[in-house]
């Protein structure tokens, strides 16, 4: 980035979302046409998504943008001839890109989301959709006023288990559902905090556009640890609710057709490894929903014995789901004596492929902005409850001005 463009960028950053000229998509794709894809933020997940997209027939990886030179070089070594940029707006300027994958850290999602749509590109945006409630409102509005295809990286929305569970609920197999319990647990090696990654020796101020990473957060000298380990700090991240609860709550909300929670309560703390992180590693969330339903989610980084799962508890039956497995149904013998234990049969759909196919067909993908929004709001309500140490309604949560 030149000094001039950096100054322009910082000026625009100070004004809010960088101004990107809206222009119509360059072409209309046929069912078998080549889809040209760019990626913004090509770290761990961006690299994974690059490989996924690359493996799909007739998808061409055209360009990546990342603030860190190492990431650009690594991506380039995987796809010969691919263009690389430090400034994501140069990627969005490219006329020959149909779709953009956004896999930047949480605090930059909204900027990349809105600007990608404004540039006329279809969008695959990693979860959680946004860092804050106002950003979630802004992104949903941008998606609703755009004709672009938006897929959120909530890949369990493409699970066969979701289709089976929705059908069982619709057919009355569960009766009245009052409670969903969900949990996600991991163990952490002694002395090595969950999520902490080593800082490569070339992660220096010379090789990183630090201001672009900060994205409006208070300026300060370059800090390689925060760049690499942004997940540990509230100003860049949303803790384990944003990293993992969001997948489960999106799945549960879709299965039960739930609106926004009416209230959230979250307790917990930094109990596993007190390594300077700000986000809690031990969490209990209670989400109240209209229609007499309470959803609980608990998470620890100190014990993984029970892994991860969701249990939907109804008067007439139970569904249990573990990611990447089939859903399982058991009837309640008293209220549904003729019911049978049933294992779901519907196969998972590939989430990335679903997005690419929708770019061609212009259909709505499995995880549109609307479920990105609802799940993001649940995450933000829970985190705001934790930070403010009180039960949080949506109205209360909306009234709180996000702080860095």
Ligand X SMILES: NC(=O)c1ccc[n+]([C@@H]2O[C@H](COP(=O)([O-])OP(=O)(O)OC[C@H]3O[C@@H](n4cnc5c(N)ncnc54)[C@H](O)[C@@H]3O)[C@@H](O)[C@H]2O)c1
269 forms beta bridges with: 282
- The verdict on 372 binding ligand X (CB under 6 A) reads no
Minimum CB distance to ligand X, residue 355 (Å): 12
Sign of CA dihedral 86, 92, 98, 103: positive
Residues in the chain: 404
> Closest Cα to residue 187, out of 310, 275, 306, 322?
306
Shorter beta-carbon distance to ligand X: residue 5 or 178: 5
Question: Coil, strand, or helix at residue 219?
Answer: coil
Which residue, judged by CB position, is nearest to ligand X in the bound state?
Answer: 43
Piece of the chain touching ligand X by CB under 6 A; list 101-109, 293-301, 313-321, 388-396: 101-109
Shorter beta-carbon distance to ligand X: residue 131 or 173: 131
Give the whole-angstrom CA distance, residue 43 versus residue 236.
15
Angle at CA 369, nearest 5°, toward 364 and 373? 150
Give the count of beta carbons closer than 10 Å to the beta carbon of residue 167. Answer: 13
Give the whole-angstrom CA distance, residue 159 versus residue 351.
9
Minimum CB distance to ligand X, residue 208 (Å): 7
Binding ligand X (rule: CB under 6 A), the pick from 33, 44, 292, 324 is 44
Give the whole-angstrom CA distance, residue 214 versus residue 131.
13
Shorter beta-carbon distance to ligand X: residue 212 or 359: 212
The encoded tokens of residue 322 equal 């573990």
- The verdict on 121 binding ligand X (CB under 6 A) reads no
Shorter beta-carbon distance to ligand X: residue 5 or 315: 5
Binding ligand X (rule: CB under 6 A), the pick from 98, 115, 122, 126 is 126
Q: Give me the 249-288 binding string for ligand X, x by CB under 6 A, dash otherwise.
A: ----------------------------------------
Shorter beta-carbon distance to ligand X: residue 149 or 227: 227
Minimum CB distance to ligand X, residue 191 (Å): 22
On whether the CB atoms of residues 115 and 90 are closer than 8 A, the answer is no
Kindly list the residues in this chain that would bind ligand X in the complex (CB under 6 A). 40-46, 65-68, 71, 88, 103-106, 108, 126-127, 153, 155, 212-213, 215, 243
């Amino acid at each position: 980035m030149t000094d001039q463009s950096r100054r322009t960028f910082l000026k625009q950053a100070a004004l809010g979302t960088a101004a990107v000229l809206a222009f119509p998509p360059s072409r209309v794709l046929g069912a078998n046409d080549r889809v040209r894809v760019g990626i913004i933020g090509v770290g761990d997940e961006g690299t994974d998504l690059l490989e996924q997209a690359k493996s799909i027939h007739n998808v061409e990886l055209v360009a990546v943008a990342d603030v860190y030179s190492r990431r650009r070089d690594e991506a380039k070594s995987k796809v010969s001839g691919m263009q690389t940029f430090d400034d994501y707006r140069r990627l969005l300027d490219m006329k020959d890109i149909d779709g953009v994958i956004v896999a930047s850290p949480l605090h930059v999602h909204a900027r990349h989301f809105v600007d990608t749509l404004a540039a006329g590109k279809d969008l695959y945006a990693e979860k959680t959709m946004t860092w804050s409630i106002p950003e979630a409102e802004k992104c949903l509005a941008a998606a609703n006023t755009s004709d672009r295809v938006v897929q959120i990286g909530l890949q369990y929305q493409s699970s066969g288990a979701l289709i089976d569970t929705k059908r069982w609920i619709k057919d009355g197999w569960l009766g009245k559902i009052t409670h969903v319990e969900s949990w996600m647990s991991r163990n952490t090696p002694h002395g090595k905090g969950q999520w902490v990654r080593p800082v490569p020796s070339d992660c220096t101020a010379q090789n990183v556009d630090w201001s672009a990473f900060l994205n409006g957060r208070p300026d300060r000298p370059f800090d390689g640890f925060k760049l690499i380990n942004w997940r540990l700090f509230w100003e860049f991240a949303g803790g384990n609710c944003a990293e993992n609860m969001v997948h489960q709550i999106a799945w549960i909300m879709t299965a039960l057709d739930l609106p926004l929670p009416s209230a959230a309560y979250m307790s917990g703390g930094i109990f596993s490894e007190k390594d300077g992180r700000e986000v809690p590693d031990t969490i209990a969330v209670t989400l109240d929903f209209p229609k007499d339903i309470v959803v609980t989610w608990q998470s620890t980084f100190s014990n993984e014995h029970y892994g991860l799962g969701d249990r939907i508890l109804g008067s007439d039956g139970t569904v249990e789901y573990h990611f990447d497995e089939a859903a399982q149904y058991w009837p309640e013998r008293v209220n549904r004596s003729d019911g049978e234990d049933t294992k779901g049969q519907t196969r998972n759909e590939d989430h990335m492929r679903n997005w690419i196919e929708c770019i061609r067909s212009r259909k709505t993908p499995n995880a549109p902005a609307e479920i990105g929004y609802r799940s993001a709001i649940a995450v933000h309500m829970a985190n705001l409850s934790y930070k403010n140490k009180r039960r949080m309604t949506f109205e209360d949560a909306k009234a709180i001005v996000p702080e860095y």
